[in-house]
């Protein structure tokens, strides 16, 4: 049986974690800070739990340069839960603004709601699922697809439509995009210039958070599941501008939303409620937050800001893409070169499934695991998350080179 040290796991999630973080967490599960109890046994209402949450929030704010006018929430339900939560909360905020503008909740507000739109930029499976969830909850009449890469790429994902073609609403409740699509390996190279005109922007950064600089002040909310670059599945982080929280904006009363024919969020998905309770409205998994906090402390020790990790992430991605590009007769990188993800490197091998099965089998024998592509698209996918060391990327690049040489001579 292989040892942990012999394996480099490129799985898309749950992803690999730094061994030292796991070792510390294992000890904490037995006895946390000499309390005689494991961390998972301590009350989420204890001072110990509050300290863990507050430290993780502060370290995240330091590492990503989160401005003071933003709040950090720890929630449950994963990214899929946030597909609903973002729609619920930002539609509620839109209704509250309209009510204030119109001076009441009479016929004028009811008429305004007919024009309510949520804008979605669809560049892959996850943004499509987010759009579909909002449509299921609010109705197709309230969804505006700003752009869909399938319409300009022969029915397939793999590009980001040119911004000149985007059809943005005039007064959307929010504009939504997924910054990095894990299934198709598509990543936005930078913040879209079309969204720098005062729009309310919500982004899913589940798979590339903590890997590059983020202009946080350009977003109204950012969310991400922990299980890629931050920790374990079970906790989801939301970074939200405080102007969407009380006392500036509060969710409209449930009775008003029902009168308007709009749904209301369960309390557990209401940002206002989670913020008021410092993420402890219900029983949050403090162990998950602790683990995320340990990952952050390790990152801060390596570099005081995310720019240090960004340089490593880019170097690892460049190594792997360079060797794939060097053998176009063997490998085909699936997304367009202008939008290649640094986190999820997706490619196909000449010879189809049979050749890819051989590649995966030989890679596994070398301790390079988790490389099979998503079940919906197949192929090969190397998820290059933060826990993948530079040596692991180099080992994979060397194997890609060797495999290409074998294919040419066979």
Q: How far is CA 243 from the centre of its chain?
A: 22
Query: Are 284 and 44 in contact, with CB atoms under 8 Å apart?
Result: yes
* pLDDT score of 307 more than 90: yes
**Full-model pTM:** 0.97
Beta strand 368-369 with 344-349 is unpaired
Confidence band of 104 (pLDDT split at 50, 70, 90): confident
Domain count, the chain: 2
Over pLDDT 70: what percentage of the chain?
100
Q: Which residue has the tokens 């290649």?
A: 340
The two three-digit tokens of residue 314, written as one number = 């880019």
Q: How far is CA 365 from the centre of its chain?
A: 31
Q: What is the pLDDT of residue 300?
A: 97
User: Residues 330-337: what's their mean pLDDT?
Assistant: 98
Spatial strand order in the sheet of 380-383: 331-333, 344-349, 380-383
Beta strand 175-178 with 236-241 is unpaired
* pLDDT score of 176 more than 80: yes
Q: What is the pLDDT of residue 408?
A: 81
What amino acid positions are annotated as catalytic residues? 126, 204, 228
Q: State which of 248, 279, 299 marks the end of a domain.
A: 299
Q: Residue 165: inside a domain, yes or no?
A: yes
DSSP line for 93-120? HHHHHHHHHHTSSSHHHHHHHTT--EEE
* Segments forming the whole domain that contains residue 276: 47-299
pLDDT in tens, 193-212: 999 999 999 999 999 999 99
By the 10 Å C-beta count (0-12 exposed, 13-18 middle, 19+ buried), 394 is classed as middle
Q: State which of 276, 299, 322 marks the end of a domain.
A: 299
The CATH number of residue 378's host domain is: 3.90.1150.10
Helix (H, G, I), strand (E, B) or coil at 15: coil
Query: Are 178 and 101 in contact, with CB atoms under 8 Å apart?
Result: no
Whether residue 118 is found in the same domain as residue 232? yes
User: Residues 303-324: what's their mean pLDDT?
Assistant: 97
Confidence band of 409 (pLDDT split at 50, 70, 90): confident
Q: What is the pLDDT of residue 10?
A: 98
Whether residue 273 is found in the same domain as residue 199? yes
Q: What is the pLDDT of residue 156?
A: 96
Q: State which of 252, 271, 299 marks the end of a domain.
A: 299
Q: How far is CA 362 from the centre of its chain?
A: 31
């Amino acid at each position: 049986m292989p040892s942990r040290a012999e394996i480099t796991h490129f799985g898309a999630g749950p992803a690999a974690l730094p061994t030292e973080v796991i070792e510390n967490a294992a000890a904490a599960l037995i006895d946390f800070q000499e309390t005689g109890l494991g961390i998972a046994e301590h009350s989420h209402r204890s001072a110990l739990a509050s300290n863990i949450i507050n430290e993780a929030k502060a370290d995240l704010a330091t590492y990503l340069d989160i401005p003071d006018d933003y709040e950090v929430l720890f929630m449950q339900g994963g990214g899929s839960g946030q597909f609903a939560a973002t729609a619920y909360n930002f539609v509620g905020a839109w209704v509250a603004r309209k009510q204030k503008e119109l001076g009441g909740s009479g016929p004028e507000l009811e008429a305004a709601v007919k024009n309510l739109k949520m804008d979605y930029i669809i560049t892959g499976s996850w943004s499509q699922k987010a759009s579909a969830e909002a449509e299921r909850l609010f109705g197709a009449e309230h969804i505006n697809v700003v752009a869909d890469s399938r319409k300009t790429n022969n029915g397939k994902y793999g590009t980001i439509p040119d911004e000149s073609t985007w059809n943005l609403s005039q007064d959307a409740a929010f504009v939504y995009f997924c910054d990095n699509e894990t299934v198709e390996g598509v990543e936005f190279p930078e913040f879209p210039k079309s969204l720098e005109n005062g729009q309310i922007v919500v982004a899913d950064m589940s798979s590339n958070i903590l890997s590059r600089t983020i202009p946080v002040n350009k977003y109204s909310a950012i969310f991400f599941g922990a299980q890629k670059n931050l920790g374990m599945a079970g906790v989801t982080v939301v970074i939200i501008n405080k102007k969407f929280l009380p006392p500036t904006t509060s969710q409209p009363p449930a009775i008003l939303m029902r009168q308007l024919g709009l749904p209301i969020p369960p309390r557990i998905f209401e940002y206002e409620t989670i913020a008021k309770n410092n993420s402890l409205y219900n029983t949050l998994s403090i162990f998950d937050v602790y683990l995320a906090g340990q990952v952050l402390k390790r990152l801060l020790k390596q570099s005081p800001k995310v720019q240090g990790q960004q340089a490593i992430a880019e170097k690892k991605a460049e190594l792997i893409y360079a060797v794939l590009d060097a053998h176009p007769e063997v490998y085909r990188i699936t997304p367009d070169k202008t939008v290649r993800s640094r986190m999820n490197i997706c490619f196909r091998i000449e010879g189809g499934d049979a050749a890819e099965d051989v590649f995966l089998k030989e890679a596994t024998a070398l301790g390079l695991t988790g490389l099979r592509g998503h079940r919906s698209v197949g192929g090969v996918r190397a998820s290059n998350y933060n826990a993948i060391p530079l040596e692991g990327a180099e080992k994979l690049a060397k194997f890609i080179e060797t495999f290409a040489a074998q294919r040419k001579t066979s």
